[in-house]
A = this chain, B = another copy of it.
């Protein structure tokens, strides 16, 4: 089995791959569309791409590509907590508080805003295209008195020394990744923790009218089908037309979810089942 993911190496996506598919061959791709295309062309068996609250890529590109460009069922989800650390060249370990510039991806810098302002007194920051690129730069330029911000894997991969762990502002920041494949995916070796199952639906309303969403949710509510996520997204036909992405907190069954879908279709909605799959959490 071969797993494609949004690169570069040593990002949070790479961490998700390692925990979900330990020991399996993995291939980083430059962009989310590149990764999904490779999957469609059978160059990889599984694609793992960020879908929410990501650092290294755009959520909307994943959702839009998934819905409009290709149709790949979701076979799993994995959530990774976003933990940022500050790291330096090993020989600067003892004097790290004297660093003059911090390198990282813009989102990682924004996520460590409080630490940079209070503990490093609003130190100069320079953007790099990824946390991995920042770490590589710091490693290869020991004469520059700088540090990188990144995750554990970044420090390991580029031989940097973490001098302060968990410098991110929000302790409950997570990135969700989707696992897409043409075929069923087995997680027997996963080192992450199985949390439960979800079923994801895309529901397009018949017309943009007040109360239509309320009617849609009635079909789920009286069956006590619990929504763990709902998001309205504009359709490609222009602003003002919306569809809804709905995650239910259970596996597809024979009666309840099909019954709700049949009712939604009867009132003129279009319903697409994006997948029914297990979801995992990593440390």
Interface positions of A (Cβ within 8 A of B)? 30-34, 37, 52-61, 64, 68, 79, 106-107, 109-111, 113, 125, 127-130, 133, 170-172, 174, 208-211, 213-215, 217-218, 220-222, 224-232, 234-240, 242, 244, 281
* Residues of chain B lying within 8 A (CB to CB) of residue A125: 30-31
Closest CB in chain B relative to A134 CB, distance in Å: 10
- In the complex, A232 Cα to B226 Cα: how many Å? 13
Q: Is the CB of B214 within 8 A of A174?
A: no
Compute how far the CA of A128 lies from the CA of B126 in the bound complex, rounded to whole angstroms.
12
* Contact between chains at B213 and A227 (CB < 8 Å): yes
Task: Pick the residue among B55, B172, B227, B239 that contacts A239 (CB under 8 A).
Answer: B172
Pick from B217, B221, B236: contact of A172, CB under 8 Å: B236
Partner pick for A221 among B111, B214, B244, CB 8 A cutoff: B214
Protomer copies:
2
A214–B211 touching, CB < 8 Å: no
Q: Are A221 and B230 in contact, with the CB atoms below 8 A?
A: no
Contacts of A232 in B (CB 8 A): 227-231
Q: Which one of B130, B211, B224 contacts A210 once the chains associate, using CB atoms below 8 Å?
A: B224
26 example contacts (A-B, Cβ-Cβ < 8 A) are as follows A30-B127, A31-B109, A31-B113, A33-B113, A34-B113, A57-B107, A61-B107, A106-B129, A127-B133, A172-B234, A210-B220, A210-B226, A211-B220, A211-B221, A211-B226, A213-B217, A213-B227, A214-B218, A214-B220, A227-B232, A229-B232, A230-B230, A230-B244, A231-B231, A231-B232, A239-B281
Q: For the complex, what is the distance from the CA of A56 to the CA of B107, rounded to whole Å?
A: 10
- Choose one: B128, B217, B221; the contact of A129 (CB below 8 Å): B128
**Chain B contacts for A64, CB-based, 8 A:** 170
Q: How far is the CA of A215 from the CA of B227 in the complex (A)?
A: 13
Write the chain B residue with the least CB distance to A64: B170
Best-surrounded residue of A30, A52, A133 (most CB of chain B within 10 A): A30
A209 and B54 CA atoms in complex are apart in Å by: 27
Q: Is the CB of B238 within 8 A of A32?
A: no
How distant is A16 from chain B, measured CB to nearest CB, in Å? 15
Q: Chain B contacts of A228 at CB under 8 A?
A: 232, 240, 242
